[in-house]
């Protein structure tokens, strides 16, 4: 039996003239049109691309529901062509495909895509966020939400504010660097690492953080570990070496397997579900697409702290994992 969730709609688009081969999964439309990014990377075959789209779309349903935005869950994946291709033409063809869904799906940037790609899509459809005509980079909003979530988790678990709290940030790219600045401003003590050592040093110099080699970051004794680099970081090898009280960061799909949430709890580590704490980016992209003001977007992002606090309190009182509590809360919002 497959673990891949079955979406409400699964669309396959192929355009030999441009090399476009894309899959769009619409997982749930209860709260509004599906909103989710479009991923551009190599996939071994169409089934692998389709499975990825279905999994990611299901995740977007939960994330969007808990983010309190009027959108369902969807995701697109585009297969990176093997040979040479005209990137603008390929994304324009994808724009035509999206337009044919008549507004049931709104696309946005995701890994492998950039503003110029959104511009190419926008040349064919209005159902795209993140083009250069709109409020672009969602990363500062993601960092803002993660900072609120960390504050809420520290208050719940350690009964403290952020002053003097030691946060170790893995990856100080777009989100991690902005997060470091926010936490430093609240008096947190920081350790940072990045495979790009110049980037780590620049962030450390600007925030007073200690920069360490990436191999040291996950084993650094700290109050909060904030994974902000890549997914799947919490696996069997890493688990026994962790020396933190809380894990709360921006990276998507931090758990290598779903049962890692229970294993972290068994080790006394509070894991804040990534799809709750990192929703600042989708809130930004979705509300900017709707034409909301920066103030309105900021206010909605700030509610991530309240949502994290609520989920942690519910989990504690019911004896459930925050991960399970968050999924159940999202399902209750969707009445499924």
Residues that bind ligand NAD (CB under 6 A): 138-139, 142, 170-171, 173-176, 193-196, 199, 214, 228-231, 250-252, 278, 281
Taking the complex as a whole, the smallest distance from the CB of residue 200 to ligand NAD amounts, in Å, to 8
Angle at which helices 294-318 and 280-289 cross, to 10°? 140
**Other Cβ atoms closer than 10 A to 240:** 9
Give the CB-nearest residue to ligand NAD: 173
Q: Which of 47, 63, 75, 201 is catalytic?
A: 75
Question: Angle 240-245-250 (CA atoms, 0-180°, nearest 5)?
Answer: 90
Please, are residues 278 and 145 in contact by the beta-carbon 8 Å criterion?
Answer: yes
Reduce the DSSP state of residue 228 to 3 states and report it: coil
Q: E strands within 175-257?
A: 189-193, 210-211, 222-227, 244-247
The residues with which 109 forms a beta bridge, in sequence order, are 38
Nearest to 39 by CA among 91, 99, 92, 93: 91
CA–CA separation, 149 vs 313, rounded Å? 13
H or E element that contains 111: none
Q: What is the dihedral of CA 177, 182, 185, 186, to 10 degrees?
A: -130
- Do 26 and 105 touch, CB atoms closer than 8 A? yes
Beta bridge partners of 270: 246
- Say how far apart CA 245 and CA 186 lie, in whole Å: 19
Shortest distance (Å) from residue 96 CB to ligand NAD: 27
63 assigned to active site: no
Proportion of the chain in helix, strand, coil states, percent, rounded to 5: 45, 20, 35
The rounded Cα 96 to chain-centroid distance in angstroms is 26
Q: For 255-277, what is the HEC assignment? A: ECCCCHHHHHHHCCCEECCHHHH
Catalytically active residues, by annotation: 75
């Amino acid at each position: 039996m497959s673990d891949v969730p079955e979406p409400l709609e699964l669309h396959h688009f192929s355009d030999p003239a441009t090399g476009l081969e894309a899959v769009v999964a619409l997982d749930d439309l209860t709260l509004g049109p599906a909103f989710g990014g479009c991923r551009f990377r190599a996939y071994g075959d169409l089934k692998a691309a389709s499975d990825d789209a279905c999994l990611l779309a299901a995740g977007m349903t939960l994330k969007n529901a808990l983010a309190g935005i009027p959108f369902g869950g969807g995701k697109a994946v585009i297969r990176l062509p093997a040979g040479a291709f005209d990137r603008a033409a390929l994304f324009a063809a994808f724009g035509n495909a999206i337009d044919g869904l008549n507004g049931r799906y709104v696309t946005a940037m995701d890994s492998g895509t950039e503003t110029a790609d959104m511009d190419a899509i926008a040349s064919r459809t209005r159902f795209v966020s993140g083009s250069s005509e709109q409020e672009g980079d969602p990363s500062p909003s993601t960092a803002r939400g993660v900072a609120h979530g960390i504050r809420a988790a520290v208050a719940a678990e350690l009964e403290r504010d952020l002053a003097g709290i030691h946060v170790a940030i893995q990856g100080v790219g777009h989100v991690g660097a902005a997060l470091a600045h926010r936490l430093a401003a609240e008096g947190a003590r920081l350790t940072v690492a990045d495979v790009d050592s110049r980037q780590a040093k620049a962030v450390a110099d600007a925030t007073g953080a200690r920069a360490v080699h990436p191999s040291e970051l996950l084993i650094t004794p700290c109050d909060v570990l904030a994974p902000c680099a890549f997914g799947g970081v919490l696996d069997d090898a890493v688990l026994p070496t962790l020396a933190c009280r809380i894990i709360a960061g921006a990276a998507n799909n931090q758990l290598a397997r779903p049962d890692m949430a229970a294993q972290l709890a068994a080790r006394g580590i509070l894991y804040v579900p990534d799809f709750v704490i990192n929703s600042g980016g989708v809130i930004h992209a979705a509300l900017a697409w709707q034409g909301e003001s920066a103030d309105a977007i900021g206010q909605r992002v700030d509610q991530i702290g309240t949502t994290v606090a609520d989920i942690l309190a519910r989990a504690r009182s019911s004896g459930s994992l925050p991960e399970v509590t968050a999924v159940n809360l999202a399902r209750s919002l969707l009445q499924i």
